[in-house]
Amino acid sequence: MEKKIIPVVGMACSACSANVEKKLNSLHGIGKASVSLTGRQAMVEYDPEVITLEQMKMEISNIGYDMVIEKDRSAEEIEKRGLSQLKRRMILSWVFSALCMAVSMGWIFTGFHAGKNQIALIIALANMWWCGRQFYVSAWKQLWHGTANMDTLVALSTAIAFVFSAFNTFWGDTVWGSRGIEWHTYFDASVMIITFVLTGKWLEEKAKDSTAGSIKELMGMQPKTARIVNKDGELEEVPISTIAKGDVIEVRAGEKIPVDGEVKSAESFMTLDAAYVDEGMITGEPTPVAKRKGDRVLAGTIPNQGKLRMRAREIGEQTALGQIIRTVQEAQNSKAPVQRIVDKAALVFVPIVAGLALATFIVWWIVGGNAALPQAVLSAVAVLVIACPCAMGLATPTALMVGMGKAAERHILIKDAAALENLRKVDAIVIDKTGTLTLPNLNVDFTKSEQLPLEDRETLKPHAREAVKALHHQGIEVHMMSGDQEEAARYWAEKTGILHYESKVAPSDKEKKVRELQAQGRTVAMIGDGVNDTQALALADVGIAIGKGTDVAMDVAQVTLMGDDLQTIPDAIHLSRNTVKMIWQNLFWAFIYNIVCIPLAAGVLYLFGINFQITPMWASALMALSSISVVANSLRLRYMK
């Protein structure tokens, strides 16, 4: 099985992403597919011998969406072009709205009073064709394949309002006037619904772009071009995509290193055999590192003194930066358990709303008196328009996307949404000592170390004591596990403020400690850096690896700290708590919005003698506002300390 992240274009709401995910998971050869609305991507595990990317693209295209699998097509460019087109359609729709309103209110064409409905009809039809055509195309494709989404509700509501108004324009006097019933047209409602929905979609897309800001910053760390040494020994600037393993590249001070590689030669004004490279964007460490012949350098890092020549070893997605970007993307595409419930609700939401609209129509037709049919139509249209699966669908992924991106900015890599959710529940931490809490003194012989004072054998990692204090403040119990002697274990526990510690432990003892705490009902995080920690890392509710540790530890762990600053541990837990709190806030307001607004649009207050009902135009404005408010609320995470 191969795993691939594929951009998906054309998704407008949670019902869209749920439909794409359902379709992909139904295809033979796909083991698992997860689709992110905010990330606009599908994460697919598939067997390339059974199904190809081209076949997936065709199946998704059939239900109205597009998968970008071609190398010469950029999802970002497609989305940018789509956003530009959306903006033009929105502006044009506002022009049509102003014209239609002016005609309906009699502000213009006052000499054509008898024909103003016909003029409004033409304006509404032009708006539906040039500005709202995508809603009807999408709705038809969804209907053809037995599915529905937000476009279905918009298409249905505007079509009903338009057809009813067109009927009244040509036969209103004959059918209603002859019975003494006053009739009206609602072309302005049809136009304004499209206008407000387009405006809401444009504002929502702009806001969603902001939620993806962190991943864009990571991608921005990759240079577009590099300077290679060609066959003639001359320097030649080439696109980064053309670099192959083994190419020799020259990088000067202030330029970004394009790929991972090995230093061939280096120099600076301080020394002739080393260049100083700022790796802070990867590790979070502020001090530039001296790089000499044979040393490894990473893509995205920057020499701030001198220049170096390097041989490319890892390129593209195989670089450390590429793997970080992929980890963050996969994490942002992953789904919290609550999101799976919302996705199931999204699949039935539109049919349920259509059913409620039909019920509203029937009730008003029965009890509406002389104006029964117009009231029934307008009430049904308002119900169709005001219902918003978008707000529910955006509640979880927008908060997760911002939360995961914020973590990446702090050099914390979280593998999936479940890990982020579990972090907030942690109330006990088991932490390895050497390499995790402390750094060994590499200048000491480990055969003569017993003769040295304890403080000379090892040094505490940055902010270790502050991190432990912050964890205690968060209500988390910290247990230090060390294979060292009792005296050394006690010394470093006291030095960091850890109250619980064990000495002379074997790797299996760390696992036993995790089991022991879990048996007490605790949610346990294990923090380690070596092979001897992997058993405990795998068993813990959340495994946290130190980025400078072994690859196997990082593979097992759900969270990786890229630097040595242990303050990122309480930061990660604090961020987890804020993110999950934001998810529940979003879900609460999204559900409350639908629970309150749908009955108000249906006119339920008339039952209690209150003459109030949300009109179709206000319904479309409120629907757009609900989606924007959820995204805006999630964006608050970016500015939390």
Q: Catalytic amino acids?
A: 432
Tokens of 323: 């793997």
Distance CA 113, CA 116 (A): 5
Angle of CA points 623, 78, 211, to nearest 5°? 50
Q: Quick one: 169 exposed, middle or buried, by C-beta within 10 A (0-12, 13-18, 19+)?
A: middle
Distance CA 382, CA 614 (A): 7
- DSSP helix/strand/coil, 165: helix
Distance CA 27, CA 63 (A): 14
Distance CA 233, CA 499 (A): 62
> Pick from 636, 573, 75: which is nearest to 402 by CA?
636
How many angstroms separate the first and last alpha carbons of the chain? 41
DSSP per-residue codes, 231-293: TTS-EEEEEGGG--TT-EEEEETTSPP-SEEEEEEEE-SS-SS-EEEE-HHHH---S-EEE-T
Tokens 């019933």 sit on residue:
181
**CA distances for 43 relative to 64, 210, 232, 332, 593, angstroms:** 19, 21, 43, 10, 31
- DSSP helix/strand/coil, 32: strand
DSSP per-residue codes, 282-336: HH---S-EEE-TT-EE-TT-EEEESEEEEEEEE-GGGSHHHHHHHHHHHHHHS--
> Pick from 130, 128, 126, 123: which is nearest to 88 by CA?
130
Q: Quick one: 103 exposed, middle or buried, by C-beta within 10 A (0-12, 13-18, 19+)?
A: buried
**CA distances for 79 relative to 7, 75, 205, 206, 635, angstroms:** 10, 6, 10, 11, 20
Tokens of 357: 């609209």
- DSSP helix/strand/coil, 416: coil
Residue 343 φ/ψ, nearest 5 degrees: -60, -40
> Pick from 199, 84, 62, 192: which is nearest to 138 by CA?
62
Residue type, 429: I
Distance CA 547, CA 563 (A): 6
Distance CA 440, CA 457 (A): 6
- DSSP helix/strand/coil, 576: helix
The dihedral built from the CA positions of residue 400, 405, 411 and 416, taken in this order, carries a sign that is positive
> Pick from 92, 87, 68: which is nearest to 9 by CA?
68
Q: Count of CB atoms within 10 A of residue 520's CB?
A: 10
Strand order, beta sheet including 2-9: 30-36, 41-46, 2-9, 66-67
CA dihedral (420, 422, 425, 429) in degrees, to 10, reads -90
Q: Count of CB atoms within 10 A of residue 186's CB?
A: 25
